[in-house]
Structure 1
Amino acid sequence: MIKYPFLEKGATIGVTAPSSGVQVELHDMFKLACSRMEKKGFKVICGDTVWTQNKAKSSSAKKRADEFNEMMQNDKVDIIIPPWGGELLIEILEYIDFENMGEKWILGYSDTSALLLAITLKTGIATAHGTNIVDLRGDYSDDTTAMWQSVLSTNTGESIIQYSSAKYQKEWQHNTPSPCVFHLTEPTYWKTTSNNSVKVQGRLLGGCIDVIRHLIGTPFGDLQGFQKQFFNDEPALWYFENCGLTTTDLRRSLVQMKLAGWFEKCSGIMFGRSSANHPVGNYSVEDVYKELSFELQIPIIYDIDCGHVPPQITFINGAYAEVKVEDGKGTILQHFK
């Protein structure tokens, strides 16, 4: 059975940087995020890796893994939220102590999603794909982002529903900060390859496709073993987001996943909005989605609230989800069972 952590009121947040740390010129911005969390009643403990960044990483792979392991085993830390993602989290996986992990939430996205998926596949502990801590530095959060707390405070055996956002952020405007961090200006519209309404259900798994594709063929990507142990023949329902891949690189990655058996027991696939997805020739991302839907004979939903074009829904790796899309609006009901 999937093991679901629980976020208590007044919990202590451990902030460690398993991928990128915070460069000196952004320390004040990061400190603001920590103080906001403290005002909301949380305690915050920051590891050493948070404050350093050199050669595309916060520190050596061993130091990053050691600090993460220590926080996972520290009874005084209730949840781990990295400052943000990065580039080279995959270096730490061989040093992670999967055998001695406390059952606590890890929340994040981007490069962090490689760690989230690896932990769920290796241990059966649910992990949370959603906001990072830097994006919680505003006076308030938009309705979609703010749901992270309610989702992570859902009891085992209970369910929680989330809705597609009203609007999304087209581009980052760091030079014009707003009270809720994001500048939500564009109407959100969830789409399907069939152009029809869709209902689909299955066990959620996913993350940033740029990085989780590299788990294939490693001890951290044994999907079939995980499904056999934890899914009771239930299908996977994948969610992906594309940070920086062209349409052909995205296609290659999805074909690799298919050939590796990742889509063998799969009820549907969801893709987040992306500012990447650059066409190669006249090969568009819609072409990629339609081809995949035809090959796998499953529904594909896209432009959902997930990833680097915020805001984003909090997806729980391992939770059983029912997803509905109709007239551009979406709902995700997650069951912690």
Structure 2
Amino acid sequence: MIKYPFLKEKATIGVTAPSSGVPKELHTILKDACNQMESKGFHVTCGDTVWTQGKAKSAPAKVRAEEFNQMMQNPDIDIIIPPWGGELLIETLEHIDFNQIQNKWILGYSDVSLLLLAITLQTGIATAHGTNLVNLRGEYSDETTAMWQSVLSTKKGESILQRSSEKFQKEWQFGNPTPHIFHLTEATEWKTTSNQRVTFQGRLLGGCIDTVHHLVGTPFGNVESFRKNYLNENESIIWFFENCELTTTDLRRSLVQMKLAGWFDHCSGILFGRSEANTTVDGYTAEDIYQELENDLGVPIIYDIDCGHQPPQITLINGAYAEVETHDNKGSVLQYFYE
């Protein structure tokens, strides 16, 4: 059975950096995010790792893991939200105390999604793929991003509906700050390989494909064991992926690796987030990959959804039961917090 944390009012947020910390010249944006959270009634506790960054990590792997372990086991901390992602979270996995993971939310994306997926697969505790902390520093949030709090405040047995955004951000404009952080200029369109109305149901699992595919073949990526231990016998899986930096051939290799490892057994559909990566190689496009994957697996594919490095993004819960629907380039995800 899946276990769901619950975000209470005036919760204490633990901020730790299991991947990248925030370099000194950007400390202001982290402080702004913490201040915004406190203005909304949260309490914020920052660990030492969030303030340091060097050699592509916030601190040595054992230091990062120990700070995370301490926050996870601290009863005064209700939710853990790293400042952002990074590159080398995978170094920490062997030092994470999975036997002491508590029923509290962890929220993030990018490299942090590696930890999220590993925890859900190992423990059956739901984790939240969505906004990071520094992107909550705005005076207000767009409707899609703001849903993170409602999603994490959903009670066990209840459901919550999220719809596709109206517009998304094509590129970051750091020199042109806005009160809501993002520059939402492009019309959002959820697309399908069939160009038809698509619906499917199943348990959500996923993350940033750049990093999560490295769980294949490790003790932290046993999807079949997760199915046997935490899901009902006939339940299927909906995979969701966001691509940060992979070319199309990189992406295809990663997906084939997952298929050969059995990750797509009992799969009912796959969601792909928007990406400014997906660099075409020799005329080989992301759309080619999606069509090939649909042909390989016989399951529907929805792409360019609100997930990943072109915000805003909906909050997807690893382990939750979901009904996904898209038609006329609009989409919805209805998540049920079923055990």
What's the TM-score, normalizing by structure 1? 1.00
For residues 308 and 18 of structure 2, the distance between their equivalents in structure 1, rounded to whole angstroms, comes to 18
The structural deviation recorded for 1:230 is 1.1
2:160 aligns with 160
1:132-184 superposed Cα distances (whole Å, 9 cap, x missing partner): 00000000000000000000000000000000000000100000000100000
Look up the equivalent residue of 2:51 and give its one-letter code: W
2:36 aligns with 36
The alignment yields a C-alpha RMSD, in angstroms, of 0.4
The aligned length equals: 337
2:280 aligns with 279
| Structure 2 stretches lacking a partner, 5+ long | none
1:130 aligns with 130
1:71 aligns with 71
| Structure 1 stretches lacking a partner, 5+ long | none
For residues 68 and 275 of structure 1, the distance between their equivalents in structure 2, rounded to whole angstroms, comes to 31
Question: SS of the counterpart of 1:199?
Answer: strand
For residues 308 and 147 of structure 1, the distance between their equivalents in structure 2, rounded to whole angstroms, comes to 17
1:245 aligns with 246
Question: SS of the counterpart of 2:44?
Answer: strand
The answer as to 2:28 corresponding to 1:24 is no
For residues 189 and 267 of structure 1, the distance between their equivalents in structure 2, rounded to whole angstroms, comes to 22
Question: SS of the counterpart of 1:330?
Answer: strand
1:53-73 superposed Cα distances (whole Å, 9 cap, x missing partner): 010000000000000000000
Question: SS of the counterpart of 1:206?
Answer: strand
For residues 323 and 92 of structure 2, the distance between their equivalents in structure 1, rounded to whole angstroms, comes to 33
1:294 aligns with 295
The answer as to 2:60 corresponding to 1:60 is yes
The structural deviation recorded for 1:307 is 0.3
Look up the equivalent residue of 2:255 and give its one-letter code: L
1:40-86 superposed Cα distances (whole Å, 9 cap, x missing partner): 00000000000000100000000000000000000000000000000
The answer as to 2:117 corresponding to 1:117 is yes
The answer as to 2:227 corresponding to 1:222 is no
The structural deviation recorded for 1:275 is 0.2
The structural deviation recorded for 1:102 is 1.4
The structural deviation recorded for 1:29 is 1.1
1:319 aligns with 320
1:200 aligns with 200
1:106 aligns with 106
For residues 202 and 29 of structure 1, the distance between their equivalents in structure 2, rounded to whole angstroms, comes to 37
What's the TM-score, normalizing by structure 2? 0.99
For residues 100 and 253 of structure 2, the distance between their equivalents in structure 1, rounded to whole angstroms, comes to 36
For residues 106 and 96 of structure 1, the distance between their equivalents in structure 2, rounded to whole angstroms, comes to 14
For residues 62 and 92 of structure 1, the distance between their equivalents in structure 2, rounded to whole angstroms, comes to 6
The answer as to 2:315 corresponding to 1:305 is no
For residues 126 and 101 of structure 2, the distance between their equivalents in structure 1, rounded to whole angstroms, comes to 12
For residues 278 and 85 of structure 1, the distance between their equivalents in structure 2, rounded to whole angstroms, comes to 21
The structural deviation recorded for 1:240 is 0.2
Question: SS of the counterpart of 1:324?
Answer: strand
Query: What percentage of aligned pairs have identical amino acids?
Result: 70
1:330 aligns with 331
The structural deviation recorded for 1:229 is 1.1
* Structure 1 residue ranges, 4+ long, deviating more than 4 angstroms after superposition: none
Question: SS of the counterpart of 1:128?
Answer: strand
1:167-226 superposed Cα distances (whole Å, 9 cap, x missing partner): 000100000000100000000000000000101100000000000000000000010000
1:78-117 superposed Cα distances (whole Å, 9 cap, x missing partner): 0000000000000000000010121100000000000000
Question: SS of the counterpart of 1:93?
Answer: helix
